[in-house]
Amino acid sequence: MPDSGRSPSADQAVIRLKDRLLKGYRARICGELVRPATAASLLDLPPDLAPGLREALTARGLPQLYAHQREAFDLARAGRHLVVATPTASGKTLCYNLPVLDAVLRGGKKALYLFPTKALAQDQVAELIELGRALKDAGADGVRAYTFDGDTPGDARKAVRTRGDIVVSNPDMLHQAILPHHTKWAQFFEGLAFVVVDELHSYRGVFGSHVANVFRRLKRVCRFYGVSPTFIFTSATIGNPAELAGRLCGETVTALIESGAPQGERHLLLWNPPVINPDLGIRASARSQTTRIARMAAKVGLKAIVFARSRLMVEVITKYLKDVFDKDPRHPPRVLAYRGGYLPSERRAAEQAMRAGRVDLVVSTSALELGMDIGALDVAILNGYPGTVAATWQRLGRAGRRLRPSLGVLVATSDPLDQYLVRHPEFFFGASPEQARIHPDQLLILLEQVRCAAFELPFRDGETFGAEDLGEMLSYLRDEGVLQRQGDQWFWVADSYPANAVSLRSVAEGNFVVIDTTGGAQTIIAEVDWSSAPGTLYVGAIYMIQAQPYQVERLDWPGRKAFVTRTQADYYTDAIDYTRLKILDRFEGRASGQGATANGEVHLVRRYPGYKKIRYYSHDNIGYGNIDLPDQEMHTTAVWWQAEPSALESALPDRAQAIEGFLGAAYALHHVAALRSMAEIHDLGRAVGDGQGTWFAVTGNTGRGQLRGPDNAPVDGEGVDRFEPTLFLYDNYPGGVGLSAPLYDAAEVLVRDARDLVAGCGCTGGCPACVGPIMPGDEVRVITPREAALRVLGLLEGGAPGLDQCAAG
Amino acid sequence: MGFEERLRRIRAPAAVPDANAAVSPPDGPSLTERLRRISTGRVTPAPVATGTPDESALAVALGAALLCPGVLCLERRLDPRLRHGRVLLGSSHRLVHLPWTPVPPVGWISAAHPPTAQPLSPWLCLDTETSGLAGGTGTWAFLTGLLRPDGAGWCLRQYLLTRLDAESAYLERVAAELAPPACLLTYNGRTFDAPLLATRFRLAARPDPLTALPHLDLLAPTRRAFARAWPDCRLATAESRLLGVHRDGDLPGSAAPAAWLGWLRRGETGPLAACLRHNRADLLSLAGLLPVLDAVYRDPAAFGADCRAVAAAHLAHGDQPLALRILTANRRGLDAPGLHDLARLHRRAGDWGSALGIWQDLAARGDLQARAALARFYEHRGGDLARAMEFTVTLPPGPERERRRDRLRAKLQRGGGGQQIELSIDIRHDGV
């Protein structure tokens, strides 16, 4: 498509800015990439589109399609499930809208669109309404597209159910409102031809595992109404779109990854703030670098977007930029913040201002990374690595719409992941390293979903649902009293609505609700995942919502309730926890360097003996409190590494140092594993122990590694008979969510990544960016914590055991 | 890696024996055992003891007939002289003229029932007992009670589902009862029983017979009349206050799910029998409430009902004279909004004197709306601009008052009288 708004001077300005950055800050730039412009690959509109559709598209300036849009149409029309995983701004929306509109106009077919956020859903409906208008102008029937979410008023719901051609909703509504009431949607289901799932890459981990089961339920209900809809997914660039989509919908899915859309030249810089304290490895803040680059961009007349990782950081950066650009209140603002938590009207106004080009600098959270239309920008600055390579590209894709050259700058924070990535540009420049994983047959998730499915339609003997033995699960639910078997069917008989008790974002066990009792009333103000409850909701804990502190007064553990009151405390609380792991079952194992790696099932005990009170700002420890909770036990899956004892002894004769080495190695491995598996850091846990639960290692108050016994009493490492430290990475969910098996498969790569992370760090003896925080003075020890970690990782990898060799390589 | 491979991993013992690791039995632990292991805080269910439900014995115990496996029907004829609380049931079913409710309600009109026609269909009282209140496809209507006029008396039929796999046959019998001509009478049935039955019919792939019937739900008119007078408008409250019915040893509706489950699991019949009694009592109250509610809507004060709300209902159904009569008769008991309603009705009927009287009383008590009405009246109707100005200046400041004051001032300066101004009254008075 020609770009009438293209101005050669802006094109040059992007290049000039990049040159200036390269010239002035050479030492901070640790990676540079140029992707040349690509021309459009166009194909004709399908010859036999529904009447009016061709005219409507032509009227909207779309006389032809990009190649991938046409391919998507042909596949969808043939009833083949597909996923479109092309870059941001490549026209993915039309890949599903075209086949859907064609089917709606031809013969009363219906489509269900699922978006992860309400804002995106509303954007979609607005676009569909415009298309519908163009269709009417072209003399065709219109299409009726409605959103269906928690905000849809009760009296409008019936119209959505019975009259909507396209219903735009989200997975939670499908799970809690649509499927359990499918008979009310009978008309809709009878015509359902397409299920469109946008932002596929966000369906991973626990959420993805649940949604895969929601789709199993959806397909069951569809069979009941005699239809089998075609799934169309769109995704950011990840390593396994077809596999992930296939696991989600339980079908064979074709991936379209080649984009036919034209693209301007793209420049990417990886930026590492300068080291300001080499001993402790402390760097200048990412924020200072980000604001500097944003200022330079605005001063040469470029439009830029800054992405920050937290709402707070959005506000801070916005303030700093406004202090420069919006000093005069008589002029319209040039800097704008955009994040969740603003009123919808405020956000709409901001979007409009951006589209109209009235804003020079936008500062946003991930809220803008998704497909909202905000017009053309020249520069994208990422204040910190967003957590996944896919999200990085999505954010960078915000700059450079409409064929213009664009510049992206990723500014690293001092987090280990950031530090690792800026030193490994190949993660961005090669094929996507990220494999999104789901585990739909995770036993607890599956059981809860079978429960929901049984509510919706009775199961018949011989039916299947997931990979587990369904009969066994149904018997379990019968014993629980919710099902009754009669004839060859299993009927729901309980007085409950199971979907309400199942959150798609947690693994069973029931979330805790936080109830504010200030002033006598009881208001639910938050929900806390079961697994994080013991560390956050203990009597005396300060629980924060929007910076308002609440104190936990009473805990109803079996009832999953925490009663809190508002407080003015000038401190926050931090629970102290100890984790012990015991290997229950080893599924498989193999030699790894001078040690071994294995995966299997583990038993984990987490104890919360007490908590610290920490004063704001000064971070002084101003007291302790006891936590009176039973030990939290969990069975989960883990991958672990052990070093051959004699090799360990020769590499690190001092056992205390060996422990420190294992703790540091665990820290590094934990972070690189989260990167490879597209997991959040807290989806995985790490621990160092002996695998028998007889001792475990912690970093003590002195900053040194210590051994503790089962009762948390210190243990003398030299006195331990069989000293075989084990490094665990475990799935931090009861039963596991399938993260550890792939980690075992990639164990060698992980150890290598971890060693690269530690070896390539700019610090001397260890820092939060590689092996975790160290105490002042540790960096001058003969064997620093960093060196100890490298030796351990060297043993596990095989070969080079020390820093010298690593540094040389 | 495929599903089977992963399963093998989870279930199979370690491929390489490890002295440190515990070894699982060759077949792997059972599902229950695995759930117990990974569950934290979950209570493993003990298998529920199961008796063997005996349908024939249940039929005998209930005095019902076994229509087919899984479906029982209890049938009774009720004498017209039967009393339910204070009400003689025979008085109900001849009742066809209900000025307080458009029957058939507008949404349910079919071509055969033009809106002006009174119901041609006999009443059909409907009440179900369900396996829960949660709604959704997992909630059963295991008992459907029906009560219809039969000669001078009534015929009661209760259909009970005693086997889960017999629902289709059960619904077939219920559907046969729900054939026209009949006008459904329920209490909270529009939002509860009817949608629930629609779901069950849909799940059994049967057409929903309810959509063909006109439907009068008594909850809305009861709520309208008594919401301000009673703590709640549940059927139990309505029957106790309006019919004088007090149930002894009644099984609460909330115990119905457990009663049915007790039968399905253990063959218990006692609670189920209580459930049927409860359902019968509900149906009788339903039939009894109809004539009483009719009386309430003719003379609300006699029943402690909200006269203003009842009059508003009559007005909404186009019966202005009845509304006026009710408000006039109960003028003493009306609050300010009620008095304004009454004044409005007087005004519409052209009875300016009565309207004026009410406004003056209210204005004397400081009622601003009444002062505004008086200002309007004296400016446009009464032709007394000075008095109009007197009331205008006591109104709260605002653009409306300023406009009126300026206009009155101009008129007074012109020395205008009432006559030529009076022409504009019709339009002006709409908002009084």
CATH number for the domain that contains residue A179: 3.40.50.300
Sequence-distant (6+) residues with CB within 8 A of A284 are A273, A274, A275, A276
Measured between alpha carbons, how far is B241 from A37 in angstroms, rounded to an integer?
A: 81
Tokens of A201: 């890459």
Band (pLDDT 50/70/90 cuts) for residue A388 is confident
Over residues A17-45, mean pLDDT: 91
Is there a single domain that holds both residue A398 and residue A358? yes
Q: What is the pLDDT of residues A276-305, one digit of tens each?
A: 776 666 788 899 999 999 999 999 989 999
Looking at residue A545, its pLDDT comes to 65
Looking at residue B9, its pLDDT comes to 40
**Measured between alpha carbons, how far is residue A350 from residues A320, A324, A398, A525, B422 in Å?**
19, 20, 16, 28, 54
Q: Is the pLDDT of residue A72 over 70?
A: yes
State chain B's mean pLDDT as an integer.
81
Looking at residue B424, its pLDDT comes to 34
Q: Identify which of A181-190, A689-698, B283-292 has the greatest average pLDDT.
A: A181-190
Q: Is the pLDDT of residue B188 over 70?
A: yes
A436 lies in a domain?
Answer: no
The reply to whether B47 touches chain A by the CB within 8 Å rule is yes
Indicate the DSSP class of residue A738.
S
A507 lies in a domain?
Answer: no
Is there a single domain that holds both residue A62 and residue A160? yes
* Least confident piece of the model among A38-42, A616-620, A740-744, B405-409: A616-620
Indicate the DSSP class of residue A593.
T
A532 lies in a domain?
Answer: yes
Nearest to A587 among B14, B137, B140 (CB): B14
Specify the residue for token string 């296939």. Answer: A246
Final residue before a domain boundary, out of A383, A402, A429: A429
**Helix, strand, coil content of chain B in percent (nearest 5):** 55, 10, 35
Q: How many CB atoms lie within 10 A of CB B212?
A: 15
Identify the structural domains of chain B with CATH numbers, from first to last. Answer: 3-38 (no CATH), 55-298 (3.30.420.10), 334-431 (1.25.40.10)
Percent of chain B residues past pLDDT 90, beyond the cut? 50
Looking at residue B111, its pLDDT comes to 31
* Least confident piece of the model among A594-608, A761-775, B30-44: B30-44
Q: Which residue of B has its CA nearest to A635?
A: B38
Over residues A784-798, mean pLDDT: 90
Query: What are the two backbone dihedrals, phi and then psi, of residue A237, each rounded to the nearest 5 degrees?
Result: -75, 110
| Interface subset of A 509-528, CB within 8 angstroms of B | 509
Assess whether the previous peptide bond of A645 is cis (omega < 30° from 0): no
Looking at residue A519, its pLDDT comes to 84
Tokens of B370: 């009444």
Which one has a higher pLDDT value, A232 or A645?
A232
Q: What is the pLDDT of residues A340-367, one digit of tens each?
A: 666 667 777 787 888 888 899 999 887 7
Q: Is the pLDDT of residue A464 over 90?
A: yes
A519 lies in a domain?
Answer: yes
Looking at residue B109, its pLDDT comes to 29
Is there a single domain that holds both residue A175 and residue A312? no
**Mutate which of A209, A439, A489, A495 to disrupt the B interface (most B C-beta within 10 Å)?**
A495
Tokens of A595: 């040690």
Which one has a higher pLDDT value, B131 or B9?
B131
Is there a single domain that holds both residue A56 and residue A198? yes
Query: What are the two backbone dihedrals, phi and then psi, of residue A386, each rounded to the nearest 5 degrees?
Result: -70, -5
Is there a single domain that holds both residue A245 and residue A231? yes
Is there a single domain that holds both residue A753 and residue A687? yes
Which one has a higher pLDDT value, A234 or A387?
A234
What is the value of ipTM here, to two decimals?
Answer: 0.79
Contact between B213 and B182 under an 8 Å Cβ cutoff? The reply is: yes
Query: What are the two backbone dihedrals, phi and then psi, of residue A383, each rounded to the nearest 5 degrees?
Result: -85, 85
Specify the residue for token string 């300060």. Answer: A542
Nearest to A491 among B21, B132, B164 (CB): B164
Sequence-distant (6+) residues with CB within 8 A of A412 are A270, A271, A272, A273, A286, A384, A385, A418, A419, A421, A422
Q: What is the pLDDT of residues B339-360, one digit of tens each?
A: 999 999 999 989 999 999 999 9
Over residues A51-62, mean pLDDT: 87
**Mutate which of A452, A586, A603, A739 to disrupt the B interface (most B C-beta within 10 Å)?**
A586
Q: Is the pLDDT of residue B45 over 70?
A: no
Looking at residue A543, its pLDDT comes to 82
Measured between alpha carbons, how far is B247 from A14 in angstroms, rounded to an integer?
A: 84
Looking at residue B430, its pLDDT comes to 35
* Least confident piece of the model among A217-221, A432-436, A601-605, B205-209: A432-436
| Interface subset of A 185-204, CB within 8 angstroms of B | 186
* Interchain proximity A495–B35, CB inside 8 Å: no
Q: Is the pLDDT of residue A488 over 80?
A: yes
Is there a single domain that holds both residue A186 and residue A46? yes
A622 lies in a domain?
Answer: no
**Mutate which of A158, A470, A601, A642 to disrupt the B interface (most B C-beta within 10 Å)?**
A601
Tokens of A521: 């009333």
Looking at residue A619, its pLDDT comes to 58
Looking at residue A459, its pLDDT comes to 97
Is there a single domain that holds both residue A229 and residue A252? yes
Taking alpha carbons only, the member of B260, B272, B286, B263 closest to residue B156 is: B286
Is there a single domain that holds both residue A252 and residue A311? no
* Interchain proximity B48–A479, CB inside 8 Å: yes
Number of domains chain A is built from = 5
Chain A residue numbers touching B165 (CB-CB < 8 A): 486-487, 489, 491
Final residue before a domain boundary, out of A501, A526, A542: A501
Is there a single domain that holds both residue A54 and residue A101? yes
A758 lies in a domain?
Answer: yes
Chain B residue numbers touching A476 (CB-CB < 8 A): 31-32, 35, 45
Is there a single domain that holds both residue A67 and residue A91? yes
Which one has a higher pLDDT value, A82 or A593?
A82
Which residues span the domain enclosing A107? Answer: 42-256
Taking alpha carbons only, the member of A668, A662, A660 closest to residue A775 is: A660
Nearest to A473 among B21, B31, B164 (CB): B31
A539 lies in a domain?
Answer: yes
Tokens of A169: 């909703």
Residue type, A784: T
Final residue before a domain boundary, out of A533, A550, A569: A569
State chain A's mean pLDDT as an integer.
85
Looking at residue A7, its pLDDT comes to 53
A2 lies in a domain?
Answer: no
Specify the residue for token string 């053309």. Answer: A376
Q: What is the pLDDT of residues A692-745, one digit of tens each?
A: 778 888 766 555 677 888 777 788 877 777 788 999 999 888 778 888 888 998
Sequence-distant (6+) residues with CB within 8 A of A535 are A575, A577, A608
Kindly report the pTM of this predicted structure. Answer: 0.80
| Interface subset of B 6-25, CB within 8 angstroms of A | 6-7, 9-10, 12-16, 18, 20-24
| Interface subset of B 310-369, CB within 8 angstroms of A | none
Is there a single domain that holds both residue A51 and residue A74? yes
- Strand, coil or helix: B234: coil
**Mutate which of B40, B130, B131, B140 to disrupt the A interface (most A C-beta within 10 Å)?**
B40
Measured between alpha carbons, how far is A481 from A484 in angstroms, rounded to an integer?
A: 8
Measured between alpha carbons, how far is A525 from B11 in angstroms, rounded to an integer?
A: 41
Q: Identify which of A211-215, A421-425, B179-183 has the greatest average pLDDT.
A: A211-215
Q: Is the pLDDT of residue B94 over 60?
A: no
Which one has a higher pLDDT value, B90 or A34?
A34
